[in-house]
């Protein structure tokens, strides 16, 4: 069956349908002898909730769960109008018919799709800004327990980076590049109309109906205070009219590390040690027994080895189960969902991640003009367990033993090398980590009966998040032995409330359409933390549950941060004849985090659109291939709230001083070395956007959106260095300016559309270039770089600044190398021409951000079988390859190393890697990296409804899916995560997982 389109339904539509349902009940009771019938889709499946209205009257009904309707006695000239979102409207004359069955075809005109925007919704054809949309059904096909991972690569201009792929950790989301130096870069998340202060991991992704991403400033301007980094609008599922629907969706699968560094095997390891010793002029370089650690010798002689990678990593189970109940009556709409997720760790002796979530959506009509509702999301996440230091395990010699004769893990497998302890040196540690969150959103909406089109809505949102962490290192662990038992207890509380008042007025006359939205909003957020550390316990029995038993050092820390926000907003949406569109927005925001007199800022925006394809002259051009052509132009200003609410104040810090003749120490308070700046004000981003939407060929087979934008952030907040003679060393100030320019392209194509086969493709492309325009100025007014933070005028925000390696000195260059105190096999560093390497030779190597990104999804459907393939690409990002900095590898102490490294020797004069004895610590090595990933593969089969109806089932879909099936990268040999900015065996991060699952969706 062809998949129904998912569309957002605005408030007016919902009220209209609710009124029709009320009418249907009364008419059904009074006109049992009227016209009956049934409504089907093109696959002859019943359609639920179709509006059946008598043309020219207010009489109408809604089809029930079986697609059936009954309407009162009608005259022969009466005309029934059948309408349903996503399908073409049909009319049918009654005549003398007592039963009318109708088939509705899907409406292929996607311009009529309803898109959720800030505080309302619009037809796609009426949009003036840069908005991307995703359906919940599309995201549900991706086997990831975190919503941010499901968003990865789905939207042009939005990047999701998984620096740490540990279960329970959310990815970092960036929309249209970095626009700040020290402020937040995270987009604002709005859940069912209320700003959401939590993490993506706390949202039940299975309960999502749709997501809208507001990328340009005009679209996001309605949320001005925190919209600089874009806005993600999440709408959760609601019930549909008819009998209650019970749905189960679940999957179970297996996961393993997508890839792991290829460490040296025993033979290569021995040769490596020899090459290193020979390069460092060891006279016994050819005799490993002369320099191998004592702990390794016996195993070396007996050829007893350990595969540390195999010893530390395992396959883990991953599962998720969701049960939901939903439905709707004339006045009540409800949706309740329960979710359980469980993801085992792929590292042995390490706990995984569990999540429990409950989502409830309920709305109720009270009379004809009032509607109230609530959305509740509760979740508990368990991500406890001590993670072994597997990066240390990668450094272990293959001749080192992991366990002793009693089966216990050896703390220092390469003793007396003690810099790298064994990966399980902390085995036996208790580490509990639980988070609980509660979000409650409520609303009350009143449609004013005395003024048509006028409505008032009050939104109230409250959030509470609590995280408890308790850790105990018993005396059997490395940390616990040194501290005689060590306990750490942490408690974090985050939360706040939001209150919004929204007035909306909608009116249409002749060819004019007008929508006015006014807003008053108040918000308060808090964040506090308490932490206690203690050591020297008499017994390990109480773990961290009785800190008073500690006899040794006790350390207490706490903090409490609060901020308040106020806002007023007015938006005007106007269109004429569906050709000329205009959106004007003005928002005034106040925030407590800024200095007195600078707390308020005004954020305006204007967006226009011209639907060229509706003009008479365009239609006369006979361009039959163009179904729709729209030009969009917008300007907008947004803000970014500083994360630290107290930078406008000078903070005090504790300082002990000598008191009295007894030379006793007494505590006191002094000013810190950072001066509070009462003149701090808003960071403000101005953005210009030009967009072009065009649909091509018959029935819009190809749909394209092109956006070009330029944004400038002024008054950047950064720490400015001041002379110490002032009594301070730094001050927070508004002194910088950053620019972002880019282009985004989205193409949706229905390549083949046949009765039994369909092939569609979605391609996204994005290129963003950020640049620092200004930092602080010197006494002479000249713009200055900030070398300590690696910020440079005219360069990207995040760069690598270092000496540039331009090759390896070879034997034929021995004399030239000597000028720089180098020898063959050493790195050849770029020189500015003075024949010596100094700090002046350092340059900007490149940007950490990719030059461009791309994604492509191909979906094939044959009858009830479908296959989806999603490729994601990241190109041109510079990564640091710290792995080959040999002075950090301790080869002399038998540390293992990467396999298949083409290092320089006299007999192998490589020009890629230096000789093993090269120990210049001044610089690192860098590489420009491209990554292409076959990220998601999904094969699904939907059972025919004719078969399912016999067993009382509405829908049954089974599928197999894989995530991160294949990754191709020119940097993939160094790390467990190709997206990491730094390749280092000492800080590899949690490995990205390759997942294979089997899932099923059932609906009753």
Confidence of residue 655 (pLDDT cuts 50, 70, 90): low
Q: What confidence score (pLDDT) does residue 668 get?
A: 62
> Is the pLDDT score of 887 beyond 80?
no
Q: In Å, how far are 15, 95, 96, 104, 917 from 24, measured between CA atoms?
A: 14, 21, 22, 20, 86
Confidence of residue 979 (pLDDT cuts 50, 70, 90): confident
More confident residue, 276 or 735: 276
Q: What confidence score (pLDDT) does residue 832 get?
A: 92
Q: Which of 52-66, 691-705, 983-997 has the highest mean pLDDT?
A: 691-705
> Is the pLDDT score of 94 beyond 70?
yes
Q: Which of 66-80, 176-190, 704-718 has the highest mean pLDDT?
A: 704-718
Q: What confidence score (pLDDT) does residue 134 get?
A: 85
Q: What confidence score (pLDDT) does residue 664 get?
A: 64
Q: What confidence score (pLDDT) does residue 666 get?
A: 63
Please, where are the H alpha helices in 336-385? none
List pLDDT tens digits, range 195-239: 887 778 888 888 888 888 888 877 787 887 778 888 888 888 888
Mean pLDDT of 626-630: 88
Identify whether the C-beta of residue 95 lies closer than 8 Å to the C-beta of residue 76. Answer: yes
Q: What confidence score (pLDDT) does residue 24 get?
A: 39
More confident residue, 459 or 169: 459
Q: Mapping DSSP to helix (H, G, I), strand (E, B) and coil, where does residue 49 land?
A: coil
Of 367, 440, 397, whose CA–CA distance to 268 is shortest?
397
Of 668, 650, 648, 671, whose CA–CA distance to 658 is shortest?
668
> Is the pLDDT score of 623 beyond 60?
yes
List pLDDT tens digits, range 458-489: 999 999 999 999 999 999 999 999 999 999 99
Q: What confidence score (pLDDT) does residue 29 get?
A: 36
Mean pLDDT of 145-173: 82
Confidence of residue 904 (pLDDT cuts 50, 70, 90): very high
Q: What is the dihedral of CA 419, 423, 424, 429, to 10 degrees?
A: 80
H or E element at residue 817: helix 814-819
Residue 411, phi-psi category: left (phi > 0), alpha (psi -120 to 50), beta (remainder): alpha
3-state secondary structure 676-733: CCCCCCCEEEEEEEEEEEEEECCCCCEEEEEEEEEEEEEEEEEEEECCHHHCCCEEEE
Q: Rounded to an integer, what distance in angstroms lies between the CA atom of residue 1002 and that of residue 1004?
A: 7
H or E element at residue 136: helix 136-140
Confidence of residue 26 (pLDDT cuts 50, 70, 90): very low
Please, where are the H alpha helices in 31-119? none
Contacts of 735 (CB under 8 A, 6+ apart): 715, 716, 718, 720, 774, 775, 776, 777
Identify whether the C-beta of residue 824 lies closer than 8 Å to the C-beta of residue 810. Answer: yes
Q: Which of 540-544, 553-557, 987-991 has the highest mean pLDDT?
A: 540-544
More confident residue, 301 or 643: 301
Both structure tokens of 676: 């509070």
Q: Which residues of 130-151 are buried (b: 16+ CB within 10 A; e: fewer)?
A: bbbbbebebbbbbbbbbbbbbb
Average pLDDT over the chain reads 86
Per cent of the chain over pLDDT 70 is 91
List pLDDT tens digits, range 316-341: 999 999 999 998 887 899 999 999 99
Q: What confidence score (pLDDT) does residue 185 get?
A: 84
> Is the pLDDT score of 23 beyond 60?
no
Least confident of 109-123, 395-409, 752-766, 909-923: 109-123
Identify whether the C-beta of residue 915 lies closer than 8 Å to the C-beta of residue 279. Answer: yes
Q: What confidence score (pLDDT) does residue 419 get?
A: 87
Q: Rounded to an integer, what distance in angstroms lies between the CA atom of residue 975 and that of residue 927?
A: 13
> Is the pLDDT score of 147 beyond 50?
yes
867-871 LR contacts (CB < 8 Å, sep 24+): 867/937, 867/938, 867/939, 867/940, 868/141, 868/936, 868/937, 868/938, 868/939, 868/940, 869/934, 869/936, 869/937, 870/153, 870/934, 870/935, 870/936, 870/937, 871/932, 871/933, 871/934, 871/935
Mean pLDDT of 72-84: 83
Q: ∠ CA 963-967-969 to the nearest 5 degrees? A: 155
List pLDDT tens digits, range 55-66: 877 677 878 777
């Amino acid at each position: 069956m062809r998949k129904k389109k998912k569309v957002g339904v605005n408030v007016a539509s919902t009220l209209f349908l609710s009124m029709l349902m009320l009418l249907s009940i009364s008419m059904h009771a009074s006109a049992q002898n009227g016209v009956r019938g049934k409504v089907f889709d093109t696959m002859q499946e019943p359609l639920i909730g179709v509006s059946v209205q008598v043309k020219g009257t207010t009489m109408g009904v809604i089809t029930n769960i079986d697609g059936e309707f009954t309407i009162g006695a009608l005259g022969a000239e009466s005309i029934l109008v059948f309408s349903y979102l996503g399908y073409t409207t049909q009319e049918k004359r009654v005549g003398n018919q007592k039963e009318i069955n109708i088939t509705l075809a899907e409406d292929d005109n996607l311009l009529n799709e309803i898109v959720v925007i800030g505080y309302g919704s619009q037809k796609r054809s009426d949009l003036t800004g840069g908005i991307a949309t995703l359906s919940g059904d599309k995201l549900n096909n991706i086997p990831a327990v975190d919503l941010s991972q499901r968003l990865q690569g789905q939207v042009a201009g939005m990047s999701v980076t998984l620096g740490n792929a540990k279960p329970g950790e959310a990815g970092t989301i960036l929309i249209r590049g970095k626009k700040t130096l020290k402020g937040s870069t995270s987009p604002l998340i709005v859940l069912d109309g209320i700003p959401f202060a939590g993490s993506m991991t706390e949202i039940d992704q299975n309960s999502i109906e749709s997501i809208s991403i507001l990328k340009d400033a005009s679209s996001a301007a309605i949320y001005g205070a925190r919209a600089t980094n874009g806005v993600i609008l999440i709408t959760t599922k609601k019930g549909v009219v008819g009998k209650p629907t019970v749905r189960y969706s679940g999957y179970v699968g297996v996961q393993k590390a997508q890839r792991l560094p290829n460490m040296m095997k025993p033979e290569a390891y021995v040769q490596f040690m020899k090459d290193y010793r020979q390069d460092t002029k060891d006279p016994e370089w050819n005799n490993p027994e002369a320099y191998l650690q004592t702990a390794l010798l016996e195993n070396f002689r007996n050829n007893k080895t350990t595969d540390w990678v195999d010893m530390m990593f395992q396959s883990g189970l991953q599962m998720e189960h969701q049960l939901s109940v939903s439905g709707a009556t004339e006045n009540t709409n409800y949706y309740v969902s329960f979710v359980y997720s469980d993801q085992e760790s792929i590292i042995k002796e390490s706990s995984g991640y569990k999540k429990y979530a409950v989502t409830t959506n309920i709305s109720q009509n009270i009379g004809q003009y009032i509607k109230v509702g609530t959305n509740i999301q509760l979740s508990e996440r368990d991500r406890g367990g001590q993670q072994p230091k597997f990066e240390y395990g990668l450094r272990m010699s293959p001749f080192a033993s992991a366990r002793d004769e009693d089966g216990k893990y050896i703390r220092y497998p390469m003793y007396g090398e003690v810099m790298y302890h064994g990966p399980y040196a902390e085995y036996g540690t208790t580490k509990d980590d639980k988070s609980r969150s509660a979000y409650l959103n409520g609303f009350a909406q009143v449609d004013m009966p005395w003024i048509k089109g006028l409505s008032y809505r009050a939104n109230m949102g409250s959030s509470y998040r609590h995280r408890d962490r308790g850790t105990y290192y018993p005396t059997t662990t490395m940390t616990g032995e040194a501290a005689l038992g060590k306990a750490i207890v942490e408690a974090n509380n985050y939360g706040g409330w939001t209150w919004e008042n929204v007035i909306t007025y909608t009116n249409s006359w002749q060819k004019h359409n007008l929508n006015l939205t006014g807003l008053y909003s108040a918000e308060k957020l808090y964040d506090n933390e308490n932490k206690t550390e203690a050591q020297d316990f008499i017994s390990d029995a109480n773990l961290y549950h009785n800190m008073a038993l500690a006899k040794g050092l006790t350390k207490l820390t706490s903090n409490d941060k609060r901020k308040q926000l106020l806002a007023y907003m007015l938006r005007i949406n106007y269109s004429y004849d569906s050709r000329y569109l205009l959106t004007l927005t003005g928002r005034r925001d106040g925030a407590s985090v800024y200095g007195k007199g600078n707390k308020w800022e005004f954020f305006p925006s204007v967006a226009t659109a011209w639907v060229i394809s509706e003009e008479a002259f365009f239609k006369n051009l006979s361009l039959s291939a163009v179904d729709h052509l729209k030009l969009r132009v917008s300007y907008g200003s947004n803000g970014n709230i500083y994360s630290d609410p107290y930078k406008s104040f000078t903070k005090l810090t504790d300082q002990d001083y000598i008191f009295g003749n007894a030379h006793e120490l007494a505590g006191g308070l002094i000013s810190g070395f950072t001066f509070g700046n009462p003149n701090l004000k808003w960071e403000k981003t101005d953005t210009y956007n030009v967009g072009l939407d065009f649909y091509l060929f018959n029935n819009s087979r190809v749909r394209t959106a092109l956006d070009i934008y330029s944004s400038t952030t002024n008054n950047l907040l950064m720490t400015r260095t001041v002379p110490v003679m002032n009594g301070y060393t730094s001050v927070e100030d508004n002194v910088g300016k950053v620019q972002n320019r880019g282009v985004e392209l989205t193409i949706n194509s229905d390549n083949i559309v046949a009765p039994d086969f369909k092939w569609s493709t979605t391609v996204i492309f994005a290129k963003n270039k950020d640049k620092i325009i200004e930092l602080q100025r010197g006494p002479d007014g000249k713009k200055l770089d900030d070398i300590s933070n690696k910020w440079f005028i005219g360069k990207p925000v995040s760069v690598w600044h270092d000496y540039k390696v331009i090759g390896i000195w070879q034997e034929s260059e021995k004399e030239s190398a000597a000028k720089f105190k180098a020898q063959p096999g050493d790195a050849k560093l770029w020189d500015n021409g003075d024949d010596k390497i100094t700090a002046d030779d350092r340059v900007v190597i490149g940007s950490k951000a990719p030059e461009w990104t791309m994604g492509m999804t191909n979906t094939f459907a044959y009858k009830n079988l479908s296959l989806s393939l999603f490729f994601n690409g990241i190109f041109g990002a510079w990564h640091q390859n710290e792995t080959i900095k040999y002075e950090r590898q301790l080869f002399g102490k038998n540390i293992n190393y990467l396999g298949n490294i083409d290092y320089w020797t006299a007999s192998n004069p490589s020009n890629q890697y230096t000789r093993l004895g090269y120990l210049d610590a001044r610089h690192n090595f860098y590489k420009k990296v491209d990554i292409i990933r076959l990220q998601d593969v999904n094969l699904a089969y939907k059972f025919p409804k004719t078969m399912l109806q016999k067993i009382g089932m509405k829908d049954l879909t089974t599928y197999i899916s894989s995530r991160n099936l294949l990754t191709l990268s020119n940097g993939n040999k160094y790390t467990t995560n190709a997206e990491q900015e730094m390749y280092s065996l000492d800080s590899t991060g949690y490995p990205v997982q390759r997942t294979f699952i089997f899932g099923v969706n059932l609906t009753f």
